[in-house]
Every structure is written in C-alpha cells, then in structure tokens.
Amino acid sequence: MSECKRDEPSRAAPIAERVQEMQLANGARIFLLEDHTHPATDLLGLFSGGLSLEAPGESGLADLTLGLLDRGTRQRSERQLSEALESNGAELDYRLMREAAVVHARCLSEDLSLVLEIVGETLCAASFPEDQIRLVKEQALVGLHEIAYDTYEQASRRATAMLLGAEHPYAREPLGRAEVVTKLTRSDLVSYRDRALRGSRLLFALVGDFDPQVARGELERHLGALPGEEEPCEVPPDPAIQSPTSAKGWRREHVPIADKGQVDLVFVGPGIPRTRPGFEAYGMANFLLGGSFVSRLNQSLRDEAGLTYGAHSAIVSGLAPGYWFASLSVDPADVEAAVARVRDVLHRFVDEGVTEQELEEAKAHLTGTFPLQLETARAVAAIFLDGVRFGRGRDYIDRYRERVAALTRKQVTAAGRELIDPERIVLASAGSLVT
C-alpha cells in the first residue's frame, strides 16, 4: 500500500500565496509558511512596544525582563529549561528592540511541540527567581561598564541624545542606567511582562517543516494562554522630533575617553518612519550615500583620503521616525579633516543628487543579492513580519525586487534631499583628541 502524503506547497509559488494566517482569541496574528526543504522549523515573534513601553524612570527594565524569561518558570528551573532545549538541539532567545520585544526559537521538526510548549511557558509563567535576578543584573552592570569605554557606543549615545533628547526611546541605552537597574524589583519585572507580552501585541511566524494542522493546535494551546486586551492594542507612538536641533543649526560635542588609539565620529539627523509610502527610495538614497563599500562616503573618506578603513550610514527607524546616522573611526590627528570631508560629501549629495549610473549599479546589486537574505527560515520570517508590521503587505518579499527596480533618479534624489539636511545634523565624537 502506498503511503498517503499531504499536499506540499510549491516553493516556486509566491510567498504571499503560500502563507496561511490565523488569529487567536487573544488577538495574536500568526502566519504559517511551510517549507519542507530541511527537517527544521524557525519560530519568530514580535511583541509591539519593546523599549518604547519602558518609562524613562524604568531604564533597563525591559531588557532585564526579557533576559529573565528563560531563567526559570513555575514548571521548570533554568537548568531544566536548558537541558530540555540543548538535549534536542533546540534554541530559544529573547531580544529587545526599540519598538518590539523579540522571541526566536529553532528546532527540529519533531521537537516543535516541545519548543512551542517552552515558548508559551517562558512567556506566560516565568518565575523570576531572585538568584537569577541578581545574576542578570550583574551581567547588565558589567555590560554598562564595558559600554562606558566603547568609543562608538558613547559617540552614538551622545549624538542621539543631542538630537532626540536623552529620554527618547531611540536615544536610551537598552541596558539602562546602573542606578536604576540595581533598584529594580521582581514586581517591576512582572509588571512589565504583564503589559508588554500580550496576545494583542503579537505578530508570530512559523517557517519551515511542520504540519499546519498540528501546528495550529499547538499554537492555540501555548500562545493562546497569553492575555489579550480589552482595548485595541496601541502601537508605539510616532513622535515628532522635539529637539532644538530640529531647527537649522550645527551642533557638535565630544566625549573624552582616555587612552584610545582612535576617535569615533557619529553624525545623526532626523529619520524617516518605515511606514512612509515609497520607503525604498529613502533606503536607496542611504545605500548610495553610505550603505556599501562603494558608497559616496567610502569613496571620499577611504579611497581618496585614506582617513578610515570604512564609513557607514543607516536609517534607524520603525513606526517612529527614529534617526539617520553616519559613522566612522579615524586617527585622533585626522578628526578635523574627516569632519570636513563628511560635511562636504553630504552637501554635494544633496546639491547634485544621484547619478543614473550609480542608481542602476545599486539596483543591480540590491536585487541580485536579495535572495541571499532569504537563505534562512529566520530571515524569511523577519522580513515577512516587517512587511506586515510596517504596512507593506504580505507580498513585500515577492515584490521587493520589482519595487527597487522601479525607482527613478528623480524619486531617489528627492528622498535623499528629504532625508539628509546637512544643517540639521549633529555630531558627537568619542575618544582621545589631539590637544
């Protein structure tokens, strides 16, 4: 007798057509994408809020809470959780973002039920043992001590604080402040968990080798235990940039850190929310300016002047506009030359716009390498959920290359001019300056 097999979706079909969606009673939206290439499954969940749900006086609470979810539950100790995962070759980790709390797990297909059980257990029944609280606090304090001597981190923190204000979620250090972290209590952790990890805040993707019917039951059982909300879930705010640097002007500050052989420079300006229609044009403008080794910044500062091993720029944003930044490391004696070069590149980029040749080369690179970003199930889940989260639709992955290929020089030049205003950019440096 031949074995009866369930129909398997073709990997050639568009992802938007292959995804199945379900919604739990608590409001969680779940997306299932089968791929039977490998006998493994990735689980990725985004709880809207993250650091944005943490009050300024609670600095460090969100990161500490997420770090303790898998350190013991009402059912299992930290050791028992670790053994259950490691003995089956499974992974589980939690991570904090500015606007989301992230849970990721990976396991063999045969262990999916166990891992979903542990995910639900750590989300809903973390016990926050006092000994583990002390340990995770100590780790946070060590991390803060190390960051205090990191030239890039200190320059970045100072620049974003100058632009957005020190208490803005996009400017705060996720690890918090030492004086706050040491005073946080178990009840503080429980309170944050209860308001942040709710079904109505959750987007969840399951990508890989699984039986959808079995998975639906397991998801309902384990993620359905998360509390919902009586009111519709509020997404993180989209705050206007309320900073003196929103007005025209050039500001610059330095963070002295002794005995450093290099100085980090971080230029920061207002960002663009990823919900903005046509965001690809802003992303392309940034890519041409500082997003690759052949970008304008690298051609000028590395190739022509030999001032740095590499310069980089990026848009750091989400539902909120966040910020744009450019960064590089230079010899202390070359700081002023580098600052002048960066400002010149920014002015020329805005004044001249992009060229047809560099735009076409960038299009070919980005559309050609995009499939490489989809090589892992976790990456597919992350890009797909971002498409849903930022209102780009379930077909964002399927249409990405088409949308990039359609960009025009006029669109990208206009986006670059809106994104980069050289007179609204602040600069922070950190390290040992030449006196």
Q: What is the DSSP letter of 77?
A: B
The SS3 call for residue 277 is coil
Question: How distant is the alpha carbon of residue 303 from its chain centre?
Answer: 30
Residue 261 to residue 303: CA distance in whole angstroms: 21
What tokens were used for 327? 């960064």
What is the reported pLDDT for 8? 55
For residue 48, with 0-12 CB atoms within 10 Å meaning exposed, 13-18 middle and 19 or more buried, which class applies?
buried
Residue 387 to residue 395: CA distance in whole angstroms: 8
Question: Which residue from 69, 56, 67 is spatially nearest to 180, judged by alpha carbons?
Answer: 56
Q: Count of CB atoms within 10 A of residue 10's CB?
A: 8
Encoded amino acid at 158, one letter: R
Residue 373 to residue 334: CA distance in whole angstroms: 36
Q: Which helix (H) or strand (E) holds 381?
A: helix 377-389
pTM for this predicted structure: 0.92
The yes or no reply on domain 244-431 and CATH 3.40.640.10 is no
Residue 253 to residue 207: CA distance in whole angstroms: 46
Partner residues linked to 268 by β-bridges = 325, 426
Do the beta carbons of residue 112 and residue 34 sit within 8 Å?
A: no
Walk along the chain (435 residues) and give the pLDDT tens digit of each residue.
333 344 555 566 899 999 999 999 999 999 999 999 999 999 999 999 999 999 888 999 999 999 999 999 999 999 999 999 999 999 999 999 999 999 999 999 999 999 999 999 999 999 999 999 999 999 999 999 999 999 999 999 999 999 999 999 999 999 999 999 999 999 999 999 999 999 999 999 999 999 999 999 999 999 999 999 754 444 444 344 334 444 467 899 999 999 999 999 999 999 999 999 999 999 999 999 999 988 999 999 999 999 999 999 999 999 999 999 999 999 999 999 999 999 999 999 999 999 999 999 999 999 999 999 999 999 999 999 999 999 999 999 999 999 999 999 999 999 999 999 998 999 999 999 877
Q: Tell how strand 263-270 and strand 311-316 pair up.
A: unpaired
Residue 314 to residue 331: CA distance in whole angstroms: 23
Residue 29 to residue 51: CA distance in whole angstroms: 21
Encoded amino acid at 22, one letter: M
Q: Tell how strand 40-48 and strand 100-108 pair up.
A: antiparallel
Encoded amino acid at 431, one letter: G
What tokens were used for 394? 């379930």
CATH value of 15-222 in 3.30.365.10, 1.10.10.10, 3.40.50.300, 3.30.830.10 = 3.30.830.10
Encoded amino acid at 267, one letter: F
Q: In what order do the strands lie in the sheet with 40-48?
A: 20-23, 29-34, 202-208, 40-48, 100-108, 91-96
The SS3 call for residue 95 is strand
What tokens were used for 347? 């002015």
What is the reported pLDDT for 10? 57
Residue 389 to residue 94: CA distance in whole angstroms: 19
Do the beta carbons of residue 291 and residue 369 sit within 8 Å?
A: no
CA angle 287, 290, 296 (to 5 degrees): 105
Encoded amino acid at 45, one letter: G
Residue 23 to residue 17: CA distance in whole angstroms: 18
For residue 198, with 0-12 CB atoms within 10 Å meaning exposed, 13-18 middle and 19 or more buried, which class applies?
buried
Looking at the chain, the domain(s) classified CATH 3.30.830.10 span: 15-222, 244-431
What is the reported pLDDT for 250? 84
